[in-house]
Homo-oligomer: A and B are copies of this chain.
Amino acid sequence: MAGIADVARAAGVSKATASRALTGAGYVSEATRTRVQHAAKELGYVPTTSAVSLVTGRTQTIGVVVPNLDRWFFAQVLGGVQEALLERRYDLALYSAPPESDARREMFTHFLARKRFDGVIAVGIEPTAHELERLVDFGKPVVSVGGYDAGTSAVSIDDHAAARIATEHLLGLGHREITFLGGDPDGRQMSFGDARRLAGYWAAMEAAGARGGGRHIPSEVTMPGGYGAAVELLGDRLTRPTALVAVCDEVAVGAIIAARRLGIRVPEHLSVVGIDDHEYADMFSLTTLQQKPDQQGRTAVRLLMAQLEDPATPGSHTYEPSPLIMRNSTAALDDATSAIVTIGR
């Protein structure tokens, strides 16, 4: 079996350089890294990682903290992180537990305290439990995905701007009775990003002098959650809005399904805008603000690697774009809609 010396010889570099190139500990140029990795692959060289760890003090592992796995956003981010780490030959240690659960507390006091990672990517961390600050205290690089940053490096969309643009799109079509749907179920606090979206919505309503037509209807941030809340909201003709800004696409799709069941035509009698560009968006012709969570995951890995190479790299918050994707779930508030609304009142 090939050793590091064979790899170094084949790549025409010193053993120390070959080792740095393969472990990620210390600087090597991208060209050298590629050459060494190529040589290692050709020779079928597999570093014994325990030995690598002893030499470098590195684990070649990145910890990823997520609240849960069965929501689209988190699964997508995790997918992007996994891809980017595989490319860089890092292992991914997964730490998933719901916020404020016993498992979550245990995760922080026991697992993360073992520090079996070179750095952490923290996805969807909420400010409340000061978890991000605790991660930083472990003394390893931390990158946050999902809005809240606590001064660490971070990547997210601009949630405030996304919801503002969604709302302005509806205002531009003549709507004034615009409800923000989703978040804050059972009076629990909204997530950091969702709260930013709600604030962006209110900012747009205020700026247009339409605050009086605004309203926030809470729901679980899921498709069934959006469906349930929308059935109730839209079932009452007296208070039915002409347009919805949904906190995310899953809630928006739930609302569209609710509207169809109630015989309310989208977009003729109800306009709906989401945020995400979820894989279901196209199937429901949903106009939405697009984000690419897998890309955010990849960006997070890039930011983390920069800090691993040079711990003096200053933290920065990268905002990924979130363009408006026009499909067919929004329409101008025409006379017909107005008439229906008027008759209803």
Contact = CB atoms under 8 A, between A and B. Distances in A.
A222 B279 contact: yes
A53 B54 CA distance: 12
A94 B72 contact: no
A31 interface: no
A76 interface: yes
A240 B76 CA distance: 36
A210 to B, nearest CB: 32
Contact of A94 (B92, B109, B224): B92
A69 B61 contact: no
A116 B46 CA distance: 12
A87 to B, nearest CB: 8
Contact of A46 (B91, B113, B283): B113
Interface string A80-114: 00110011010111111100000100110111011
Given A224-B279, A283-B227, A114 B75 contact: no
A50 interface: yes
A87 B97 CA distance: 11
A94 B82 contact: yes
Contact of A86 (B92, B97, B279): B97
Given A92-B93, A96-B79, A116-B49, A86 B68 contact: no
A223 B61 contact: no
Interface in A238-266: 254, 257, 260
A110 B283 contact: no
Contacts of A97: 82-83, 86
B283 A61 contact: no
A19 to B, nearest CB: 15
Q: How large is the interface on A (under 10, 10 to 19, 20 to 34, 35 or more residues)?
A: 35 or more
Nearest to A223: B280
A47 interface: yes
Contacts of A83: 97, 103
B70 A79 contact: yes
A212 to B, nearest CB: 33
Contacts of A103: 83, 86-87
A77 to B, nearest CB: 9
Contact of A223 (B53, B79, B116, B283): B283
B61 A68 contact: no
A162 interface: no
B91 A93 contact: yes
Given A82-B97, A91-B114, 6 more contacts: A68-B79, A70-B75, A70-B76, A82-B96, A89-B111, A224-B283
28 contacts: A46-B110, A46-B113, A47-B114, A48-B114, A49-B114, A50-B53, A61-B93, A69-B69, A75-B75, A79-B96, A82-B94, A82-B96, A82-B97, A83-B103, A86-B97, A86-B103, A87-B103, A91-B93, A91-B111, A92-B93, A92-B94, A92-B95, A93-B93, A223-B283, A224-B279, A224-B282, A257-B283, A260-B260
Interface of A: 44, 46-50, 53, 61, 64, 68-70, 72, 75-76, 78-79, 82-83, 86-87, 89, 91-97, 103, 106-107, 109-111, 113-114, 116, 222-224, 227, 254, 257, 260, 279-280, 282-283
